[in-house]
Amino acid sequence: MWIVAAAWLYVTVMMALAEATSPQGSVLGAVITLVFYGLAPLALVLYLMGAPARRKALRAAEARAHAQHLAEQADKGRPSGDDAHPGEGSTQPDAGGLPAGDAIPPERKEP
């Protein structure tokens, strides 16, 4: 892919050089030729050709993040170190991960 990009740039630079040195050409025409016939299409093609690689890298990063999250969740449930003795001053009040119970009893209708 990179050899095609280098060859395309070589051709467009030569076209721009020919435009600039031609008796009927101009430097502005050479710049326009280089940008609109060389750089812009090449950037678009390279961006589109790189999409599968970017998608693959994104999926791999998501898989690593998911695996790390699962490992953290597994480590959270396993007692180790200070967590092995729950009565000795826990730093987290509710490490069970369950929602708190109702603190206030519900009001009943009067009979």
> Is the pTM for the entire model greater than 0.75?
no
Model confidence over 11-55: pLDDT tens digits? Answer: 999 999 999 999 999 999 999 999 999 999 999 999 999 999 999
- Asked whether residue 8 carries a pLDDT value surpassing 60, the answer given is yes
Measured between alpha carbons, how far is residue 25 from residues 18, 33, 41 in Å? 8, 11, 22
Task: Considering only residues 80 and 54, tell me which one the structure prediction assigns the higher pLDDT.
Answer: 54
Taken as a whole, the chain contains a residue count of 111
Decide if 86 is inside a domain.
no
Decide if 51 is inside a domain.
yes
Across 72-86, average pLDDT: 66
Decide if 31 is inside a domain.
yes
| Alpha-carbon gap, residue 53 to 74, rounded angstroms | 31
Predicted pLDDT at 104: 72
Decide if 95 is inside a domain.
no
Decide if 54 is inside a domain.
yes
Decide if 59 is inside a domain.
yes
The CA-based diameter of the chain, rounded to the nearest angstrom, is 105
Question: pLDDT band for position 73 (50/70/90)?
Answer: confident
Predicted pLDDT at 32: 95
Question: pLDDT band for position 78 (50/70/90)?
Answer: low
Decide if 53 is inside a domain.
yes
Report the number of distinct structural domains present in the chain.
1
Model confidence over 83-106: pLDDT tens digits? Answer: 555 555 556 665 666 666 667 767
Decide if 108 is inside a domain.
no
Where do the H-state alpha helices sit in the chain? 2-21, 27-33, 40-49, 51-77
| Alpha-carbon gap, residue 107 to 59, rounded angstroms | 51
The residue segments making up the domain with residue 15 are: 2-76
Q: Which two tokens stand for residue 105?
A: 């009893």
DSSP 3-state assignment of 92? coil
